[in-house]
Amino acid sequence: MADYLPLDGERRWELENDEHGALLRVELQPGPSDGPRHLHHFDPDTLRKVLDLELASTPAYGIEVHGWRVGTGSEVRLDPPMELTPGRMAQDDVHDASVDDFEVYVRFAGLEVCENGWVGDAWECAVLDIEAPGTPLDGHFELAPVYGFSVWQRSDDPAPWRLRRAFYETD
């Protein structure tokens, strides 16, 4: 699954939500490619940080969640980290994990064509439906190989955030 959420090099994503008429910028903070990295989510107009996720993504271990902070709230640290996905998943596989008081159920719906607002061609994305109450991960994700986020819709959001632009530079 790490091929669908690569966290190497320098990366930025810009997501757009038609319902909100808003943009969300996600920036991968500097750090080792094989360790946890912070993804800062912020409003590009006000520069107000709305979410900070700390994730690791490697072929051997899949995608791990090390913690998060929503807005200016308290930081949540997971020790040990929570395995969001194993290294590989087959279509319709369900993965469940728990750390501390948090439980997550991830269903890999399979590879599906997903749209994006950045390039004209549709991509084949890994589609993940995540049940993780009380976390910012609860929702629907469509992840494109090499690029990562293509569609992201939290369960409490009425409309999805769609990729509008991405930037990637290797280490």
pLDDT, one tens digit per residue, over 82-124 is 999 999 999 999 999 988 888 999 999 999 998 777 877 788 9
Q: Could you tell me which CATH number the domain at 2-169 has?
A: 2.40.360
Looking at 62-169, list the stretches that DSSP marks H as alpha helix, in order from N- to C-terminal side. Answer: none
pLDDT, one tens digit per residue, over 14-55 is 999 888 778 888 998 888 777 899 999 988 788 888 999 999
46 CB-contact burial (10 Å; exposed 0-12 / middle 13-18 / buried 19+): exposed
Q: Where are the domains of the chain?
A: 2-169
Beta-carbon contacts of 152 under 8 Å, excluding residues fewer than 6 positions away, are 15, 139, 140, 141, 142, 160, 161
- Find, among 133, 131, 138, the residue nearest to 154 by Cα: 138
pTM score of the predicted model: 0.89
